[in-house]
A = this chain, B = another copy of it.
């Protein structure tokens, strides 16, 4: 079931080998039989299916972790931050300096994700994978910068293959270092301009019209959206001219790693690695919004079984998010019209997933509770 990257590593350096090993460790989630879990859910003291999407989440957790799933109380939120070369083209409502400024705000505890992390009793770590500006040493911030922002993807490749894999491994290591004391991960990001990058990646991977996945991001006006769309099209045209996105697998160029290198960004690469590492460890990982879902698409293309570890938190106001979740076959739990990022939606879903696991772990069966089951349809 596992499919490695479409193109074999072109050099045998350590990073390439580490990525190959990571991908090779990802297996489908089969720690419980789906039909057995469904049957058991229907024996519990509730009308069959009455816990709705929570039951589907419970089923997927059982397949990943075993039935019953263990508690999911040791929570870790990872926010990956990086800058994007295309930010200079006016694709965001905010200047690029905001990426670094928001890193400081998160370190100081004043950002939305800080508040939400406290409200869901989760650890929170910010990882600088590629912020453009120098950051002072900040508490709770991991300095893992691969380079100071990506290159402008309209002019040329955003990253080298080597930088791309380094970014992936930063994300993987961030998860691996926390496996011993984390039951569940929530992933988010920070990076001015990154809805443009995520839109281009999504269009290239899913072969959908770029116009259907470009949105207002942090709050562009109509003219801003037009400018963003033109930038996205220019990047796609450049990459298409190189043959990376011609969609023909036979050409050997439809490689998600190549796309990630051509388009960026480093926080997306790190998110790919974090998802892959969580999947390899059989640990549930909750994805946030449009940018993290773009990373999930790449992770699932690199290793389709990785999808079994991924849980969707919410469907954001960014129009491409629903397209991505549909392609991933994931159903979100929250309906909050969020469009902030920073893992806010993923973090808010953490108590819901603990509740889903608790259903299988703690609820009584009709028989054990001595409760009458359904009566025949006619009186």
Q: Which residues on A are within 8 Å of B, measured CB to CB? A: 44-54, 89-90, 93-95, 97-98, 101-102, 104-105, 108-112, 114-116, 118-120, 218-221, 223-224, 227, 317, 332-340, 344, 348, 351-352, 354-355, 358-359, 361-364, 368-375, 377-379
Contacts and interface: CB of A to CB of B under 8 A. Distances in A.
Nearest 3 pairs between A and B by C-beta?
Answer: A110-B364, A52-B337, A335-B335
A116 B334 contact: no
Contacts of A370: 101, 104
Contact of A348 (B94, B95, B223, B355): B355
B98 A354 contact: no
Taken together, the copies of this chain in the complex come to 2
Contact of A372 (B98, B109, B112, B379): B98
Given A115-B363, A355-B119, A372-B94, A378 B223 contact: yes
A362 B114 contact: yes
A90 B374 CA distance: 12
Contact of A369 (B49, B89, B101, B354): B101
A112 B110 CA distance: 36
Given A108-B369, A112-B359, A119-B355, A93 B47 contact: yes
A71 to B, nearest CB: 9
A262 to B, nearest CB: 24
A46 to B, nearest CB: 5
Given A104-B370, A105-B364, A372-B101, A50 B340 contact: yes
A358 B218 contact: no
A270 to B, nearest CB: 22
A194 to B, nearest CB: 13
Contacts of A373: 94
A45 B105 CA distance: 8
B338 A120 contact: no
Given A108-B369, A348-B355, A370-B101, A219 B362 contact: no
B374 A219 contact: yes
B369 A338 contact: no
Contacts of A49: 219, 339
A378 to B, nearest CB: 7
A92 to B, nearest CB: 8
